[in-house]
């Protein structure tokens, strides 16, 4: 493990575990939210009037377990992307501090580092993200597996929404920058100079930072869902129109044409509910298991070092 930066590795592992846990816990809500956002119809023809309609559809069709369709792919994507993001963010942040000579990092530099880490993450994990969205937005009971979903599409289709996903790296950049800055100020103001936040404080800071980021970037989030959504049975008669939605400009035009200005914010409350809970849980879990992760990695490193020493001595 000598080739790795230990702090970055610990942050990446703790963040990935936190992401895995929060994704699994909130996955049914995420499926309902995504299917609700992906529907694009005029108000009088909508299948889903609100988020609960998606849930009732699953119940009425006896497809409650379909609320978990794509969970494995989503968890894989979530774990990999969180690991890459937190490792990159921690690594670049540490490198900046070492080279600049500053004891702390400013907001602008923090935003830039977070955006770079996010862009690297998106470029690597986009096919998994697209596949997970396709599986979530498929008709209940008709979702395909990861390999079949990817193999039936071209490489270009696997990267649907890449541009807007890179644009949306500003979302976690805003979130984690706000969280880090608020955390630093909160810890400095506490007696005894504690090294970590309480679970409640971590949850509250995570929720507040994610809520702000989500509201600022929501129209782009809705477009991304539409671009990556699976085609429904009703879409077969509107193939040219469906294809046009697979671009950012096409998605924006389709929303404006069928739903008007308010359509850009359809599902905002559901998005805030899901993402705030998810991010708050992620950061809370990450904050609480970081110390345990440190102990684990130090134990592994010591074990490997002792074994290496024994092999050399023998």
The DSSP result for 203-236, as a single string, is HHHHHHHHHHHHHHHHHHHHHHHHHHPPPPGGGG
pLDDT for the residue 192: 60
pLDDT value of residue 1: 42
How far the first Cα of the chain sits from its last, in Å, is 22
Q: Which CATH number fits domain 6-313: 3.40.50.300, 3.40.630.10, 3.50.50.60, 1.50.40.10?
A: 1.50.40.10
What is the C-alpha to C-alpha distance for residues 298 and 283, in angstroms, rounded to an integer? 22
Quickly list H helices, 107-247: 107-137, 146-151, 155-158, 162-167, 170-188, 199-228, 239-244
Classify residue 280 as exposed, middle or buried by CB count within 10 Å of its CB (0-12, 13-18, 19+).
buried
Sorting pLDDT into bands at 50, 70 and 90, what band is 2? very low
Mean pLDDT calculated for residue range 202-226: 85
Query: How many residues does this entry show for the chain?
Result: 314
The highest-confidence range among 62-71, 95-104, 108-117, 238-247, by mean pLDDT, is 62-71
Yes or no: say if 288 and 202 are a contact pair by the CB < 8 Å rule.
yes
Structural domain boundaries of the chain?
6-313
E strand or H helix at 305 = helix 268-313
Confidence of residue 295 (pLDDT cuts 50, 70, 90): confident
Give tens-digit pLDDT for 256-293: 998 888 889 999 999 988 877 887 787 778 777 777 77
Q: What is the distance between the alpha carbons of residues 69 and 56, in angstroms, rounded to a whole number?
A: 16
């Amino acid at each position: 493990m000598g080739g790795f930066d230990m702090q970055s590795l610990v942050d990446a592992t703790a963040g990935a575990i936190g992401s895995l846990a929060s994704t699994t816990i909130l996955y049914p809500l995420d499926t309902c939210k995504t299917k609700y956002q992906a529907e694009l119809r005029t108000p009088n023809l909508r299948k889903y009037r609100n988020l609960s309609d998606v849930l009732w559809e699953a119940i009425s069709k006896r497809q409650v377990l379909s609320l978990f369709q794509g969970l494995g792919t989503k968890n894989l994507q979530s774990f990999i992307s969180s690991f890459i993001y937190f490792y990159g963010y921690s690594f670049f942040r540490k490198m900046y501090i070492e080279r600049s000579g500053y004891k702390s990092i400013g907001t602008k530099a923090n935003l830039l580092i977070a955006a770079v880490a996010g862009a690297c993450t998106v470029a690597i994990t986009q096919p998994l993200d697209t596949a997970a969205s396709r599986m979530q937005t498929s008709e209940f009971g008709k979702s395909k597996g990861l390999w079949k979903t990817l193999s039936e599409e071209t490489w270009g289709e696997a990267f649907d929404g890449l541009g807007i996903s890179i644009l949306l790296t500003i979302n976690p950049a805003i979130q984690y920058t706000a969280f880090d800055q608020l955390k630093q100020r909160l810890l400095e103001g506490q007696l005894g100079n504690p090294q970590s936040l309480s679970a409640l404080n971590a949850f509250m800071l995570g929720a507040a930072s994610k809520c702000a980021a989500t509201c600022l970037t929501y129209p782009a989030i809705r477009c991304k869902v539409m671009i990556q959504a699976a085609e429904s049975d009703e879409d077969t008669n509107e193939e040219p129109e469906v294809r046009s939605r697979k671009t950012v400009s096409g998605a924006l035009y389709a929303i404006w044409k069928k739903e008007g200005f308010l359509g850009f914010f359809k599902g905002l409350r559901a998005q805030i509910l899901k993402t705030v809970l998810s991010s708050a849980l992620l950061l809370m879990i990450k904050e609480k298991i970081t110390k345990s992760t440190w102990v684990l990695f130090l134990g592994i490193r010591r074990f490997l070092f002792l074994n290496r020493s024994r092999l050399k001595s023998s």
